[in-house]
């Protein structure tokens, strides 16, 4: 059965930051660094990291720790599925940014960005990581850095897949003449982080990350952050508490209490797809809605964003 997940925008304009509640964060460092959980307090970040130096057994050996060093029941593994899917090895140090890089946010720690795991084409065209044991009642966002010093233009594609209808893909130029910030430009990415949309895990608690070569013969994964969000118990209220919205996760339904004049549903591009007769407790059937992001407008002035 399809489920409707709500994140709410309490504002009078569309497409502002939603109200998902961040539960915890996980940091990952890939490349030639000691294979252990590390602590890095540079810039007062104070985050613990999961550290992987190879492309083999180290991915299977231990549960993940979050940024506060709390052990979870979550794991990460390399799950190559075909003869052309795999990681060649690791590189570094000094193959990516080798100094702390504020433009990369919390991921801009030199010991994390300076090295990477990589895939070379041939023999491989992509590699896959699987996150397992994830909480099926939560949503996850990923922040990814790929970087390699080279004048050759190299582009990596990152694709995330979870529950049906929850996927994300983006590309990143990791290498090339003057692609980075710095005097005269540098030959590695030091300014862009790939940031995913919210991904719900499958019923089995998994999300896959496919890393593929687009051009240049190589793809890279230096470091990553996974954020876990609470999306299962949201209730939204306006600033004067006159209007309340309730998601019904086991049904295709959104309930609105307290609307006075009108209830309209729009796509994020501003196209109205439905309007509803106002009662004290109005139930909106979303079973015919395709998976995606919608905006609920109450009385022509209050807007709430939700994701099905």
pTM beyond 0.85: no
User: What value does the mean pLDDT take over residues 132-153?
Assistant: 94
Mean pLDDT, rounded, of the chain: 81
Q: Using the predicted structure, report yes or no on whether residue 20 has a pLDDT greater than 80.
A: no
Q: What was the pLDDT predicted at 239?
A: 44
What architecture (CATH level 2) is domain 236-307?
Sandwich (2.60)
User: What value does the mean pLDDT take over residues 49-61?
Assistant: 76
Beta strand 281-285 pairing with 167-180: unpaired
The band of 301, judged by pLDDT with boundaries at 50, 70 and 90, is: confident
Helices (H), the chain: 110-113
- The DSSP string of 154-182 is EEEEEEEE-STT-EEEEEEEEEEEEEESS
Cis peptide before 118 (omega within 30 of 0): no
Reading the block at residue 256, the tokens are: 């609105």
Percentages of the chain per state (helix, strand, coil), in multiples of 5 = 5, 45, 50
> Which three-class secondary structure state does DSSP give residue 47?
strand
Q: What was the pLDDT predicted at 286?
A: 85
Q: Using the predicted structure, report yes or no on whether residue 152 has a pLDDT greater than 50.
A: yes
User: What value does the mean pLDDT take over residues 230-253?
Assistant: 57
Q: Using the predicted structure, report yes or no on whether residue 268 has a pLDDT greater than 60.
A: yes
Q: What was the pLDDT predicted at 6?
A: 39
The band of 14, judged by pLDDT with boundaries at 50, 70 and 90, is: very low
Reading the block at residue 144, the tokens are: 């990814």
User: What value does the mean pLDDT take over residues 227-249?
Assistant: 60
The band of 41, judged by pLDDT with boundaries at 50, 70 and 90, is: low
Distances (CA, A) of 195 to 126, 159, 173, 211, 294: 20, 11, 14, 14, 20
Phi then psi for residue 82, to 5 deg, are -140, 175
HSE toward the beta carbon, residue 12, CA cutoff 13 A: 4
Q: Using the predicted structure, report yes or no on whether residue 52 has a pLDDT greater than 80.
A: yes
Q: Using the predicted structure, report yes or no on whether residue 1 has a pLDDT greater than 70.
A: no
């Amino acid at each position: 059965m399809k489920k409707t997940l709500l994140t709410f925008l309490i504002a009078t304009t569309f497409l502002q930051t939603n109200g998902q509640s961040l539960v915890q964060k996980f940091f990952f460092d890939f490349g030639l660094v000691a294979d252990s959980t590390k602590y890095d307090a540079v810039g007062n970040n104070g985050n613990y990291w999961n550290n992987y130096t190879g492309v083999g057994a180290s991915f299977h050996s231990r549960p993940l720790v979050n940024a506060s060093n709390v052990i979870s029941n979550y794991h990460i593994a390399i799950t190559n599925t075909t003869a052309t899917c795999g990681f060649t090895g690791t590189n570094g140090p000094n193959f990516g940014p080798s100094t702390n890089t504020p433009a990369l946010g919390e991921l801009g720690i030199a010991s994390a960005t300076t090295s990477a795991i990589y895939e070379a084409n041939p023999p491989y065209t992509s590699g896959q990581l699987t996150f397992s044991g994830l909480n099926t009642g939560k949503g996850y966002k990923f922040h990814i850095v790929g970087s390699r010093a080279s004048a050759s233009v190299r582009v990596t594609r990152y694709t995330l897949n979870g529950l049906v209808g929850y996927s994300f893909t983006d590309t990143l130029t990791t290498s090339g003449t003057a692609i980075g910030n710095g005097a005269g430009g540098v030959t590695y990415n030091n300014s862009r982080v790939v940031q995913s949309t919210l991904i719900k895990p499958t019923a089995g608690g998994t999300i896959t990350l496919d890393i593929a070569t687009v051009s240049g013969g190589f793809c890279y994964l230096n470091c990553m952050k996974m954020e876990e969000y609470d999306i299962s118990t949201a209730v939204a209220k306006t600033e004067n508490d006159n209007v309340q919205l309730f998601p019904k996760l086991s049904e295709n339904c959104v309930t609105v209490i307290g609307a006075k004049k009108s209830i309209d549903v729009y796509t994020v591009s501003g196209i109205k797809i439905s309007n509803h007769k106002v009662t004290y407790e109005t139930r909106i059937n979303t079973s015919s809605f395709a998976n995606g992001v919608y905006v609920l407008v109450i009385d022509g002035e209050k807007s709430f964003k939700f994701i099905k």
